[in-house]
Amino acid sequence: MANFFDIRARAAAAATNGASSSKVPSKDNGQLQPRPKSLKDVTAQDHTINVLQRTLQSSNLPHMLFYGPPGTGKTSTILALAKELYGPELIKSRVLELNASDERGISIVRQKVKDFARIQLSHPPSAAYRERFPCPPYKIIVLDEADSMTQDAQSALRRTMETYSKITRFCLVCNYVTRIIDPLASRCSKFRFKSLDQVNAKRRLEEIANNEGVNMGDGAVEALMKCSDGDLRKAITFLQSAARLVGVIGDASEHTKQDADDDGGDAMDLDNSGTPLVTARIIEEIAGVVPDETIEKLIQAMQPPAKGMAYQAVAKVVTDMVADGWSATQVVLQLYGRILFNDAIPDKQKNKIVMVFSEIDKRLVDGSDEHLAILDLALRVSGILAGT
Amino acid sequence: MALLVDKHRPRSLQQLSYHHDLSARLRSLAQNGDFPHLLVYGPSGAGKKTRIVATLKELYGPGVEKIKIDSRVFQTTANRKLEFNIVASVYHLEITPSDVGNYDRVVVQDLLKEVAQTQQVDISARQKFKVVVINEADHLSRDAQAALRRTMEKYSPNLRLILLANSTSNIIAPIKSRTLLVRVAAPTEEEICNVLRVVGASERWSEAPGLNRRIAKECGRNLRRALLMFEAVYAQNERVTDKTPIPPPDWEALIAQIADEIIAEHTPQRILQVRAKLYDLLTHCIPPTTILKTLTFKLIPKIDDALKADVIMWSAFYEHRIRLGSVSDPVNEIEGFLTALTRIFPPQKVIFHLEAFVAKFMRILESYLMGIDF
């Protein structure tokens, strides 16, 4: 480190070192597609967006409660709304966002939330700024993942919400509306975010794949949607991981690929057809889906002539499956799908089988040993199939 | 002298002896400069940790091998002080949050935020981000996992997480959807044989292919276990041939003995004898789940086919009970104090479940032999 004090040399060294990472700045934050910037960009929640857009004009906003399955755009919506309301300058002072990574016990609700809620609005924006953004005369507190707040903390919010409702609006975001205590829920207008329908999700995914220059193989988009069932964020992450894997595998074989990839990002040309395909299999592998052959093997093993004979075959398949590291929950899920949609099994047996499945699922959630649980499941189902 | 397991642990991705495509993938991810969060899962002894250490080396160079152990003190909301050990190099941190039981959330929140909010000072470092390796991620409480969610998104310029888990069942969906899942399957018997041969050759031990194959079969596709067994065999015998017996661990021998006793006689007196042995195992810190599982698989070959399904069913049933019985209420302050004790003395309730299984097994077997259903 002879040139430690030579700042220019160090900067140059840093520039050469950091060159590889600075090349891909847009992907650096770990999210292939950034969150939507405005309400218009939020996919497939037309009803909610309509209502919210109207509030943009009327400059009045109720307390809000957003709920729905993960990856449907709840957090994106409120962030986009905040951005449209306040613009980049005011958003820092007018919006407080708290999520499960922040301490949110009762003491925080009493201090931080309350303190923020009762701050009077100051620094009115200039007229020119107000022309571009509505800047309504209230602040917004976003409580993300509100269903992980304790009951006590939630009840501490009740009074705060009422007292300062003139200058502060709350927005609670959660997956399970049942975990929000009634007094809070009744103070908010509720917005249900439905999971994305197939058409919208597909369009969005194709759009993203196009923008990023990812070459999707046959059935890859369908596989994506099957693996993510309506969770768009999950689908995008899978797509991103798959693109990385495919891209980098190609990268290892030829080093000049990196540059070609960067150019390919902004224009999908014919010469881009050389990029490796993202296939359905790669996506399933990333999503941790057990291959059909493995499940098929298990099902085969479960159907021998007499009861009891099944043990050897089943035990072998199950041992292999556990050693291969397939997740038990995933196995249970896929096995369930296969057995339930098998019309050859009479309904009476299906009833019993579903009971077994529900019990095993509960055990897995409680953290039971996976090997024993799957073995038990397979043997019992096989017993039921044999007709005892 | 170091154990074989440590001595011959591969240090770089090139040296890994199986799952070559996975190694290639990890290498190109590391070289790409765009490293995602990873969730590495697979059974124990499959080489998850080895792979991660090798990947880190690929990312940062040999500097990651200089590690030190820090002890940090965290304060919980109830003002209780927690001591927590961190293994750290200049570039990465390694933590096992499940060490502190129910307070893992505090550690995850405080520590990760602190790491995430500091930038890499050394401009000549290869990567701008730090890596935090979280061991036993499947033992993280729900709260701790929820706390990870936003941290992963918000601070991703400065921080990458690598989660290590045995299974993805206990990991909440939001985490799974934010990470790249990497499955590390256990090595096949053949691959284990190869490893044993290479290790044996580099130690200049006489080779016994038959023995290698037997070890590969015995170890349940767990490479760590295979190497330990391999070393034990060579340490205990002067001359090693294909026929040399593999000494089972003490606890396994004891469980085999219990299984024999259960099969031989089904009386309350026998349960009493078995109880003493079970206590013995428990006080030697053998996890109850392991006891139950081993016992089950020792019993299975000794009984009639028609009974096997039933035995497995009850085994799974009691395993679930054990799991439920020993989990404490998260709120309970006293339990927190007891956690330290529990590590030494497993909760006494466990014995009931193990015994219940033994009794149940005897009953099933007896009723089957008598031909009466009662």
CATH classification of the domain holding B23:
3.40.50.300
pLDDT of residue A302: 80
B222 and B166 together in one domain: no
B126 and B169 together in one domain: yes
B227 and B323 together in one domain: no
pLDDT of residue B338: 33
B209 and B224 together in one domain: yes
- Is this complex scored with an ipTM above 0.90? no
**Confidence class of residue A304 from pLDDT cuts 50, 70 and 90?**
low
CATH architecture of the domain with range A39-192: 3-Layer(aba) Sandwich (3.40)
The answer to whether position B337 is within a domain reads: no
Q: How many domains does chain B have?
A: 3
B161 and B47 together in one domain: yes
Residues 6+ apart with CB under 8 A from A329: A361, A364, B168, B169
B316 interaction partners in chain A (CB closer than 8 Å) = 363, 368-369, 372-373, 375-376
The answer to whether position B242 is within a domain reads: no
Structure tokens at B38: 């990873």
- How close does chain A come to B96, measured CA to CA in Å? 18
Please say if the pLDDT value at position A332 is more than 60. yes
Give every residue of chain B whose pLDDT is below 50, as ranges.
327-348, 374
Contact present, A70 and A231 (Cβ < 8 Å): yes
Q: Where does A198-287 sit in CATH, by number?
A: 1.10.8.60
**Confidence class of residue A388 from pLDDT cuts 50, 70 and 90?**
low
B140 and B66 together in one domain: yes
B29 and B169 together in one domain: yes
Chain-chain contact of A372 with B315 (C-beta, under 8 angstroms)? yes
Instruction: Determine how many CB atoms are found less than 10 A away from the CB of residue A131.
Output: 10
**How far apart (Å, rounded) are the C-alpha atoms in residues B3 and B5?**
5
Enumerate the β-bridge partners of residue A169.
A140
B170 and B195 together in one domain: no
A383 backbone dihedrals φ, ψ, rounded to 5°: -60, -45
pLDDT of residue A268: 37
pLDDT of residue B162: 92
Chain-chain contact of A323 with B43 (C-beta, under 8 angstroms)? yes
Give per-residue pLDDT as tens, A70-124: 777 888 888 888 888 888 888 888 888 887 666 666 777 778 888 888 888 776 7
* Rounded mean pLDDT, A151-165: 84
The answer to whether position B349 is within a domain reads: yes
| A349 vs B340: which has the higher pLDDT | A349
**How far apart (Å, rounded) are the C-alpha atoms in residues B256 and B233?**
20
pLDDT of residue B163: 92
Chain-chain contact of B177 with A234 (C-beta, under 8 angstroms)? yes
B169 and B66 together in one domain: yes
Residues 6+ apart with CB under 8 A from A47: none
B195 and B307 together in one domain: no
The CATH 1.20.272.10 portion of chain A extends over: 292-385
Residue B276 touches chain A, beta carbons under 8 Å: no
- Integer-rounded Cα Rg, in Å, for chain B is 24
The closest of A134, A140, A104 to A119, measured between CA atoms, is A140
The CATH 1.10.8.60 portion of chain A extends over: 198-287
**Domain A292-385: which topology?**
Zinc Finger, Delta Prime; domain 3 (1.20.272)
The answer to whether position B333 is within a domain reads: no
Chain-chain contact of A325 with B46 (C-beta, under 8 angstroms)? yes
pLDDT of residue B345: 36
Give per-residue pLDDT as tens, A210-269: 887 777 777 788 888 877 777 777 788 788 777 777 765 444 444 333 333 433 333 333
Enumerate the β-bridge partners of residue B182.
B40
Instruction: Determine how many CB atoms are found less than 10 A away from the CB of residue A287.
Output: 22
**How far apart (Å, rounded) are the C-alpha atoms in residues A34 and B331?**
38
The answer to whether position B44 is within a domain reads: yes
What is the rounded average pLDDT for all residues in chain A?
A: 75
B34 interaction partners in chain A (CB closer than 8 Å) = 21, 24, 27-28, 244
Nearest to A328 among B167, B178, B324 (CB): B167
Enumerate the β-bridge partners of residue B41.
B165, B183
A286 interaction partners in chain B (CB closer than 8 Å) = 180-181
pLDDT of residue A149: 82
Q: What does the buried/exposed string (b/e) look like for A186-216 if buried means 16 or more CB atoms within 10 Å of the residue's CB?
A: ebbeebebebbeeeebbebbeebbeebbbbb
The answer to whether position B162 is within a domain reads: yes
Which residues of B, range 341-370, sit inside 8 Å of A by Cβ? Answer: none
The answer to whether position B335 is within a domain reads: no
- How close does chain B come to A13, measured CA to CA in Å? 7
Cα–Cα separations (whole angstroms), residue B120 to A379, B90, B126, B152: 54, 10, 10, 17
B27 and B160 together in one domain: yes
Residue span of the structural domain in which B362 resides? 250-327+342-370
